[in-house]
C-alpha cells in the first residue's frame, strides 16, 4: 500500500513540511514518486518515520539520527555501531525517566501536604 504526503502526515502526526525536510536532510530515505512526480510512501517508510520520531523524542539531534540512518543503509556490518548509539541513547532516556519519577514523587508529596492542610480545616469535629 502507498500513501501520499497528506495521508502520511495525518497518519503519523507529522507535518508535510517536516517530512520533506527530513527527506532533504537525509534523515529519511528518498521517497519514490509516481508518474506525476507525487511522493508515494510505502509501509517501510512508515517504519522509518516511527524510528525517527522515537529517536527525536529522546532528544537525539538530527545529525546523529542521520548518522544512524547512514549506518543502517550500510548494512549489517554496522550493527555494532548502531547498537552502541542506541544503547547510549537508551541510557539517557533511563536517566530522564529516573529524574521524572523523582520529580513526580516530590509533586505527589506536596499535593498530599496541601490536601492534608485543606481537609484539616474543612472537617472539624
Determine if the pTM surpasses 0.85. no
b vs e for 75-85, b when ≥16 Cβ sit within 10 Å of the residue's Cβ? eeeeeeebeeb
Q: Most distant CA pair in the chain: distance in Å?
A: 81
Span 96-105, average pLDDT:
97
* β-strands 39-40, 32-33 pairing: antiparallel
Q: How confident is the model at residue 1 (pLDDT cuts 50, 70, 90)?
A: confident
Residue 26, helix vs strand vs coil: coil
Between CA 48 and CA 28 the distance in angstroms is 7
**pLDDT digits 0-9 by tens, 40-95:** 888 889 999 999 999 999 999 999 999 999 999 999 999 999 999 999 999 999 99
Average of per-residue pLDDT values in the chain: 91
Q: Considering the chain, what percentage of its residues have pLDDT values greater than 90?
A: 66
Amino acid at each position: 500500500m502507498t500513501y501520499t504526503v497528506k495521508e502520511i502526515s495525518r497518519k503519523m502526526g507529522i507535518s508535510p513540511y517536516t517530512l520533506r525536510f527530513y527527506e532533504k536532510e537525509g534523515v529519511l530515505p528518498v521517497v519514490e514518486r509516481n508518474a506525476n512526480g507525487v511522493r508515494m510512501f510505502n509501509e517501510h517508510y512508515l517504519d522509518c518515520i516511527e524510528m525517527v520520531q522515537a529517536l527525536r523524542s529522546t532528544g537525539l539531534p538530527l545529525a546523529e539520527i542521520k548518522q544512524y540512518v547512514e549506518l543502517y543503509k550500510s548494512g549489517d556490518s554496522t550493527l555494532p555501531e548502531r547498537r552502541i548509539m542506541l544503547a547510549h541513547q537508551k541510557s539517557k532516556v533511563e536517566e530522564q525517566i529516573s529524574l521524572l519519577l523523582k520529580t513526580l514523587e516530590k509533586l505527589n508529596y506536596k499535593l498530599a501536604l496541601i490536601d492534608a492542610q485543606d481537609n484539616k480545616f474543612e472537617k472539624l469535629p
